[in-house]
Copies of this chain bind each other. A is one copy, B any other.
Amino acid sequence: MKSQYTNLDTLKFLIHKVHHTDSVLGKGRFEAYDPASVDMFLDSIESLSDTELFPFIKDMDENPSVFKDGKITIHPQFKRIFEQARDLGLIASIFNEEDGGLQMPNTLFHAAYYIMEAANNHVTGYLGLTTGAANLIATFGNQALKDEFLDKMLSLEWTGSMCLTEPQAGSSLSDITTSATPTKNGSYLINGQKIFISSGDHQFADNIVHLLLGRVVGAPEGTKGVSLFVVPKFKVNEAGEFEDNHVITAGEFEKLGQRGYCTSHLVFENSEAWLVGEENRGLTYMFQLMNEARIATGRMGAGIASAAYYASLQYAKERPQGRQLTSTGDKDLHQEQTLIINHPDVKRMLLHQKAIVEGSLSLVLQASHYLDKEELAEGEEKERYHLLLELLTPIVKTYPAEKGIESVSQGLQVLGGYGFCQDFILQQYYRDIRIISIYEGTTGIQSLDLLSRKVNLKNGKVLQWFAEEITETIQEASQNPDFSVYASELGQNLKMIQQVLTELAPIAQKGDYERYLSDATIFMDLFGTVVIGWQWLKIANTAQEVMKADSNQKVAMEGKIHTMKFFYKYEMSRTKGLAKTMMNQLALTLDFDLDYLN
């Protein structure tokens, strides 16, 4: 039976064929992996997802996490899920062997999480935050911290959280005020409040390990005075007993979606904490791992969109409604009603979803592949992969979020009135996915990052490297008479991006940064669309090869090529208009009388 939320064949095709993951297997830190072990692991993840994740997604929405008497209680199924995750080594996966890890390639890690997120997007946050928190300790913590926390976290006996946001400082981390007062024994006492803390409290871990950004008393203002701390919910004393560390769960945020994934408000009252790395370097540490979190967020968006696509596809294949038009434009009532999948507009909505879902997934895997390459490479090559990933990261975060919302909405539309009803799951995916463009830096923040820092990395050199990557795909496609028109269109789009940047450059050079960045979100839309256009052409190139080599793959591969053409007809056609907006000189979102907004 086919999965109801994703297509494992497509995932494996993207991993092995399109993104050449096999080229990193068996090498360096990935020595223990080969193509067969990759597939086996993905199969086991799908099996876990089929039995323990997907069957519970609706129930987690209908019976969400609850705050009562200072505690948050999450859905009972999480007990079983955490046990299974432990058995599969899901937290240990990406860590170094010396820390008890499995040194899994990033591509495999993200692919596995993608499957789980497509099956049930309320689950992976608990695992991902534990991974992220443990990773901060493993990367920047001293041996004492590693000894204290890593084993327990990698085995998921203790889970992790990231405490960044404060009530007065949402996206603006320079304004956080949570204080850290040094104690005589080298630890710190934390006082302050943190909000929107995902996985901040629940009943299925013996301890919760908070990685927290705070400010050592007397530290410089702004981001330069922010330090990173480990603050466990319980301290373990020398007798091995748990002592309460005064991390108070003050409430929970009830949400539009992802209601099984708890979001807490935490208050720290003289909670004992240990510094990670050096004082005042907290944000630097955090940002070295932020890429990972941003890729994970985009991946989750792609996963939810995948689930919505397959749910609407199944409905379209089963629901009879209306009739195909005859040559006179009338309906022949003697015919049976047709299945709605036979209506062109329904096919369009399904292809649109497929184009966004698989394009987004491919981009996530592209980013993961750069990460794998970076980990194996040395010197300049390492830098190249690192910076290509830096450039791509805001897009990996944003495209699956913004277009994923659109894609899920199309999925809901396929069901008509039933899409709006709670008996069907589309309405839940529509709610769940809405957070993705907000998590881990909103679309606006990602767009500023792209246009201010990323396209200008190394004075534009990184953008040039990126253009080389795209040009390679263009050159391959232009060998194929059936693809040359798309190759040429992608090339023109690449030039158009350069033209937009050239047009904007003098504004930044004059120091008018606010104006330079005022349409950053439009630029993100433009750049993101071109990047996915690149991914689709890359997919089509590979599909052509695979089809030649294996006739069993013919239909599946023709489907990829068809979807590439669809993407160019319906999505790449948007880029010129976006470029036109970017090059329009009217600065309509800068200074104007705010009473215009009345």
Contacts and interface: CB of A to CB of B under 8 A. Distances in A.
Interface of A: 2, 7, 9-10, 165, 168-172, 174-175, 195-196, 221-222, 253-257, 313, 317, 320-329, 331, 333, 337, 341, 343-348, 350-351, 354, 405, 409, 412-413, 416-417, 419-423, 427, 430-431, 434-435, 437-438, 442-444, 447-448, 452, 508, 511-514, 517-522, 555-556, 558-559, 562-563, 565-566, 569-570, 573-578, 580-581, 584, 586, 588-590, 592-598
A552 to B, nearest CB: 12
Interface centre among A344, A409, A421, A447 (most CB of B within 10 A): A344
A556 B313 CA distance: 48
A597 B420 contact: no
B337 A420 contact: no
A333 B174 contact: yes
B581 A570 contact: yes
B521 A559 contact: no
B434 A412 contact: yes
A345 B171 CA distance: 14
Contact of A255 (B169, B331, B420): B420
Nearest to A254: B422
A219 to B, nearest CB: 13
28 contacts: A168-B337, A170-B417, A171-B322, A175-B337, A222-B333, A253-B417, A253-B423, A254-B422, A255-B420, A317-B594, A327-B511, A328-B513, A343-B444, A344-B519, A344-B589, A345-B518, A347-B592, A348-B519, A348-B521, A351-B597, A405-B409, A417-B438, A522-B570, A555-B598, A559-B596, A562-B592, A562-B596, A575-B577
- In order of increasing CB-CB distance, the 4 nearest A-B pairs are A559-B596, A344-B518, A256-B427, A327-B511
A443 B409 CA distance: 12
Contacts of A513: 325-329
A25 to B, nearest CB: 26
B569 A581 contact: yes
A347 B555 contact: no
B174 A331 contact: yes
Contact of A420 (B2, B256, B326): B256
Nearest to A259: B422
A95 to B, nearest CB: 30
A388 to B, nearest CB: 23
Given A325-B513, A444-B345, A416 B170 contact: yes
A573 B569 contact: no
Interface centre among A422, A438, A520 (most CB of B within 10 A): A438
A565 B588 contact: yes
